[in-house]
Amino acid sequence: MYFPDFVEIGADELLLVAFFVSLLGIVIHYVANVLPLGNLKTISLEASVSQEPVSIIICARNEDDNLTEFLPKILVQDYPEFEVVVVNDCSMDNTENVIDEFAKIFPNLKKVTIKEDDYYKHGKKFAVMVGIKGAKYDNLLFTDADCYPANEQWLRDMSAGFVNKREIVLGYGAYKKEPGFLNKLIRFDTFLIAANYLSAAIKGKAYMGVGRNLAYKKELFYKQKGFSKHYHITSGDDDLFVNQACTEENTNVAVSHNAITYSLAKTNLTDWKRQKQRHLTTAPHYNSGSKTRIMVGYILQYAFHFLFLAVLLYKTTIISALVGFILKICIQMIIFKKTSKKLNEVDLWALSFFYEIILLIMYPVFHISKLFHKPNKWKS
């Protein structure tokens, strides 16, 4: 009987196959988890769109400067009926006086004060609950004291997301464009996270939102028993609540340029690291499906770059490796260019591959350092 000779497959060939498999995985990941936002058709809002009353809730602790600068931009929104509830949470600065002075000008501004208690220490979730309890309307829109809306149509475009009985509206909380590499890196990180969670929501698989720009129904909050499932966790008043309350039918997105909020990015690496440590403490508490989707994306990225370095070690695969790497960059730039236009971040797509590599290097440092991070009192 004739037995054909088996062709021996070398390590270089195996690595090359694995490299292109990881490339295919990344392309599928981009198409499935980033491109849906880029393909979303932004519908022009008509004057006939129902504009139900809204309560905007801002929790503030020692935020007199930010409130002085940004609160007027919230109060002058072009909307028929809304109130702004500012929760003055144990502030030691001039926050209360700032709110009182604005209240003399704007009758729709409401102050809720939490006094310091030597026996009971609380985090931001308690302040949010107090704000919700003090809110007059069922539609709630949240932002932070250090945030400001893109323009006077922010409230209009965000509240329009409650159409068709939707109970959660996810918006984009961006950072202001400033000179410097760190600013671009922080903004790209924020853009990439938003592209993923907004795309997931568009597909009916929402898993998080950000408190800088988030809306939901008061009725839903009480139906979910508020933050009871994760009140013991310092952070997560935004993403953990959305993760537990979102469904395929009840979540919507608002991604017009009007619906964006902006805040100032950290200006040094140490402060940004602390911010990321705080944010990363909530992800382990997502449901299993959410954690799996997030983990797969990171595994594909690390696998691709490690395999790229590996195939470069062999003369027989160098050209193929470079072709694969260039192909990945080209596909990434095409998808990210389209998506960045939706979030008004058009200056980030051209070097997205470079920012992504830097973040892949920095994220393990963030994750390791968070193990030694002890959360302090909340700050907006």
pLDDT digits (tens, 9 = 90+) for 190-208: 999 999 999 999 999 999 9
Residue with tokens 């195996």: 14
Looking at residue 134, its amino acid is G
Output the CA torsion sign for 216, 217, 220, 224. Answer: positive
Query: DSSP secondary-structure letter at 62?
Result: S
Any alpha helices (H) in 282-317, and if so which ranges? 288-311
Confidence band, pLDDT 50/70/90 cuts, at residue 380: very low
Tens digits of residue pLDDT in 146-157: 999 999 999 999
Mind listing the domains of the chain with CATH numbers?
A: 11-38+290-370 (no CATH), 46-266 (3.90.550.10)
Tens digits of residue pLDDT in 279-297: 788 888 898 888 898 999 9
Residues 6+ away with beta carbon under 8 Å from 16: 311, 317, 320, 321
Q: What is the pLDDT of residue 49?
A: 62
Confidence band, pLDDT 50/70/90 cuts, at residue 318: very high
Distance (Å, whole) CA 342 – CA 245 = 26
Q: What is the pLDDT of residue 48?
A: 44
Q: Is the pLDDT of residue 18 over 50?
A: yes
Can you count the helices (H) and strands (E) in the chain? Answer: 13, 10
Give the CA distances from residue 39 to residues 20, 136, 202, 377, in Å, rounded to whole numbers and listed in that order. 26, 37, 10, 40
Q: Is the pLDDT of residue 328 over 80?
A: yes
b/e sequence 292-319, b meaning 16+ C-beta within 10 Å = ebbeebeebbebbbebbebbeebeebee
Q: Name the pTM for this structure.
A: 0.91
Mean pLDDT, to the nearest integer, of 231-247? 91
Distance (Å, whole) CA 43 – CA 288 = 33
Residue with tokens 């109130």: 83
Distance (Å, whole) CA 55 – CA 155 = 10
Looking at residue 300, its amino acid is L
Residue with tokens 């990344």: 26
Rounded (10°) CA dihedral 266, 269, 270, 272: 40
Distance (Å, whole) CA 164 – CA 145 = 30
Mean pLDDT, to the nearest integer, of 319-345? 96
Q: What is the pLDDT of residue 377?
A: 56
Give the CA distances from residue 223 to residues 126, 217, 226, in Å, rounded to whole numbers and listed in that order. 17, 10, 7
